[in-house]
């Protein structure tokens, strides 16, 4: 039975395609519709064609491969290629294989590409130069130096000698992936092959060597470029400057900058920043300041990286006149001086021993009007790292009393662990509540610290509630929080052995069994079973040396206290239900 399809074409009985386009003109029109919008249906076309007694041909394979590679399904294209060869006896041509090889390597399926290349050789498909180029680049992604040299040799013997474009593409690939040792071997092979590197190849190699800390090798290539009369681009000069400064040879970096300027290039701000940082690192802030003046003369806009190192040098040596002179210059240039000072303090305070000095420096900055919430947060964070909690608390109080530097989300997230460490859980909870009112999400460290503090004082209900809140707000919450809910869920079974299985799993995965897990055992059994189950779990933990005898006593006491709270809550709930709460208060006043 045939009917009219939606495209005005005859539809055959049992047609599997929603477009109803199996028509009298043959399967080619069906393939066109499938390629246009039905790629899944297109995979069924070879079977449909064969069922109609038509031969499956290579052009159909080509269309299907193009469909899958264009849709970025390289593994599906590979499957189609193999299916046509084995099931339909269609020998693929080299152009189709090249397309699949390119799609596989672009998607990172290097091993599959190599297997396909070997299958081509077994099937008698003669590779083209571009085939070898694709495989060589795939090997370059993995840094397989031996295989690369072997493949280059095969290319030379079977088709043609690799040209400079093949070598340059290979060098680019390996430099991008950081396989510099393999890249050096390929570079040497290029010389033995009699292929002269072009400017692009030299520039790529010099940049890669400098990034890898091989500045001497990069310098030799640089000299080779100049001897051959090749155009030395700005990226080569900049890479050498970066490499020399990273190696501590700031003088050579300055020399390369001079050569760059003499060659008619205008250095970028990044290059000046690298040199300024290098000069400050060797104590030559005078030269660094001169470099800063050159930046201004070149009409480049200084960044925080440009001035931060200079400010650090002046602060370290106590040269406050120069320090504030540079700050005033930033204001004169209409630059965000406060933001730059925040970046400076982050750099200055993160180096050991400067945290307290940074606070003293901030007092002077604040008097001159240079102050921000970000600066306060940086100072508080660094003070807490050296356990100067009292000084951090003073800064926090200053912020709360300020009109323009009130605490924000980051501030509260820093202060919650601080209050917990000070034993002031109530104030830590107050910070958390302030964040909830402002609809801010605490940091993971703040969540962990507050939960731990609540467990230590026995406020287990609040701790569990906080765990649920964290997992609801944070995309990838801590695993110990997830295991907490798993332990509580295991307690529903009223079987201590199931709870122990979760605990053993945590130990095997390397997680510590701390206050939160013990609190979860107490919470779960008291809510869903009886306290006896919790005692059994603690007894098993003690027998297996998971907890000590002393901790066993501590958690047993915590269990008893939690039971009292649960009982008291039940009593109060019952009184509220029967409207007897007022009589309880009246009786307590009499007592």
pLDDT tens string 308-356: 999 999 999 999 999 999 999 999 999 999 999 999 999 998 777 888 9
pLDDT value at 477 more than 70: yes
Mean pLDDT of the 523-534 span: 86
Given this model, what pLDDT does residue 1 score? 37
Neighbours of 215 (CB within 10 A): 24
Could you give the 3-state DSSP secondary structure of residue 315?
Answer: helix
Task: Calculate what percentage of the chain has a pLDDT beyond 90.
Answer: 52
Q: Average the pLDDT over each of 150-154, 260-264, 367-371, 551-555 and give the range with the smallest value.
A: 150-154
**Model pTM?**
0.74
Q: Average the pLDDT over each of 44-58, 352-366, 509-523 and give the range with the smallest value.
A: 44-58
pLDDT value at 100 more than 90: yes
Could you give the 3-state DSSP secondary structure of residue 11?
Answer: strand
> Per-residue confidence at 256, pLDDT binned at 50, 70, 90?
very high
Instruction: Answer whether 185's CB lies under 8 Å from 153's CB.
Output: no
Cβ neighbours of residue 163 under 8 Å, at least 6 residues apart?
Answer: 195
At 395-450, the pLDDT tens digits run 999 999 988 899 999 999 999 999 999 999 999 999 999 999 999 999 999 999 99
Q: Name the more confident of 12 and 560.
A: 560
CA distance 582 to 36: 77
Q: Name the more confident of 566 and 234.
A: 234
Mean residue pLDDT of the chain comes to: 85
Given this model, what pLDDT does residue 39 score? 62
> Per-residue confidence at 585, pLDDT binned at 50, 70, 90?
very low
At 115-134, the pLDDT tens digits run 998 889 888 888 888 888 88
Mean pLDDT of the 82-93 span: 88
CA distance 152 to 470: 56
Task: Calculate what percentage of the chain has a pLDDT beyond 70.
Answer: 88
Given this model, what pLDDT does residue 505 score? 93
The DSSP secondary-structure symbol of 414 reads H
β-pair type (3-4, 10-11):
antiparallel
Mean pLDDT of the 138-149 span: 82
Q: Using CA of residue 4, residue 10, residue 13, residue 15, what is the dihedral sign?
A: negative
Instruction: Answer whether 488's CB lies under 8 Å from 524's CB.
Output: yes
Given this model, what pLDDT does residue 452 score? 93
Given this model, what pLDDT does residue 567 score? 63
Instruction: Answer whether 208's CB lies under 8 Å from 215's CB.
Output: no
pLDDT value at 467 more than 80: yes
CA distance 209 to 178: 9
Given this model, what pLDDT does residue 571 score? 46
Given this model, what pLDDT does residue 429 score? 94
Mean pLDDT of the 543-565 span: 86
At 481-510, the pLDDT tens digits run 999 999 999 998 888 899 999 999 999 999
Given this model, what pLDDT does residue 474 score? 87
Could you give the 3-state DSSP secondary structure of residue 3?
Answer: strand
Burial class (CB in 10 A: 0-12, 13-18, 19+), 29: middle
pLDDT value at 152 more than 70: yes
Given this model, what pLDDT does residue 583 score? 47
> Per-residue confidence at 527, pLDDT binned at 50, 70, 90?
confident
Consecutive H or E run containing 295: helix 285-297
- Name the region of 178 (left: φ>0; alpha: ψ -120 to 50; beta: rest): left
Of 530, 505, 534, which is closest to residue 519 (Cα–Cα)? 534
At 18-34, the pLDDT tens digits run 444 444 444 444 455 44
Mean pLDDT of the 240-254 span: 95
């Amino acid at each position: 039975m045939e009917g009219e399809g939606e495209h005005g074409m005859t539809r055959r009985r049992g047609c599997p395609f929603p477009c109803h386009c199996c028509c009298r003109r043959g399967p080619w029109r069906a393939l066109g519709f499938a390629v246009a919008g039905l790629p899944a249906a297109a995979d069924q076309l070879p079977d449909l064609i064969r069922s109609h007694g038509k031969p499956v041909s290579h052009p159909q394979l080509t269309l299907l491969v193009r469909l899958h590679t264009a849709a970025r399904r390289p593994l599906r294209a590979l499957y189609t290629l193999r299916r046509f060869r084995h099931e339909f006896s269609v020998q693929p041509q080299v152009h189709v294989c090249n397309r699949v090889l390119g799609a596989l390597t672009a998607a990172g399926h290097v091993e599959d590409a190599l297997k396909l290349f070997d299958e081509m050789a077994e099937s008698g498909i003669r590779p083209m130069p571009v085939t070898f180029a694709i495989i060589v680049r795939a090997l370059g992604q993995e840094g397989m130096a031996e295989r690369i040299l072997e493949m280059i040799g095969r290319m030379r013997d079977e088709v043609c000698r690799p040209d400079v474009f093949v070598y340059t593409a290979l060098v680019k690939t390996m430099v991008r992936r950081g396989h510099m040792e393999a890249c050096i071997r390929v570079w040497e092979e290029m010389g033995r092959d009699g292929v002269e590197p072009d400017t692009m190849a030299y520039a790529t190699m010099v940049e890669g060597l400098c990034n890898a800390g091989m500045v001497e090798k990069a310098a030799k290539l640089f000299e080779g470029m100049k001897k051959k009369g090749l155009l030395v681009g700005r990226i080569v000069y900049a890479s050498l400057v970066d490499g020399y400064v990273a190696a501590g040879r700031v003088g050579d970096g300055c020399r390369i900058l001079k050569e760059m300027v003499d060659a008619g290039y205008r250095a970028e701000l990044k290059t000046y920043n690298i040199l300024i940082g290098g000069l400050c690192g060797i104590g030559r802030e005078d030269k660094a300041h001169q470099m800063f003046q050159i930046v201004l003369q070149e009409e480049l806009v200084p960044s925080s990286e440009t001035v931060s190192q200079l400010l650090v040098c002046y602060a370290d040596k106590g040269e406050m006149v120069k320090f504030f002179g540079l700050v005033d210059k930033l204001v004169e240039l209409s630059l965000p001086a406060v933001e730059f000072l925040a970046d400076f303090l982050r750099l200055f305070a993160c180096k050991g021993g400067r945290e307290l000095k940074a606070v003293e420096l901030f007092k002077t900055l604040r008097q001159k009007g240079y102050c921000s919430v970000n600066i306060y947060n940086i100072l508080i964070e660094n003070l807490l790292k050296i356990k100067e909690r009292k000084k951090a608390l003073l800064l926090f109080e200053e912020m709360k009393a300020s009109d323009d530097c009130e605490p924000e989300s980051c501030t509260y997230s820093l202060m919650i662990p601080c209050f917990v460490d000070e034993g002031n859980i109530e104030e830590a909870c107050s910070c958390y509540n302030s964040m909830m009112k402002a609809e801010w999400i605490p940091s993971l460290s703040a969540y962990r610290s507050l939960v731990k503090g609540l467990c230590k004082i026995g406020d287990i209900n609040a701790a569990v509630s906080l765990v649920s809140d964290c997992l609801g707000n944070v995309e990838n919450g801590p695993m110990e929080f997830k295991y907490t809910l798993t332990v509580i869920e295991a307690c529903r079974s009223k079987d201590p052995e199931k709870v122990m299985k979760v605990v053993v799993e945590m130990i095997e995965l390397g997680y510590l069994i701390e206050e939160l897990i013990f609190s979860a055992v107490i919470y779960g059994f008291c809510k869903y079973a009886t306290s006896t189950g919790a005692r059994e779990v603690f007894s098993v933990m003690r027998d297996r040396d998971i907890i000590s005898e002393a901790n066993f006593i501590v958690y047993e006491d915590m269990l008893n206290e939690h039971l009292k709270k649960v009982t008291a809550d039940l009593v109060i709930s019952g009184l509220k239900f029967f409207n007897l709460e007022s009589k309880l208060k009246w009786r307590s006043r009499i007592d």
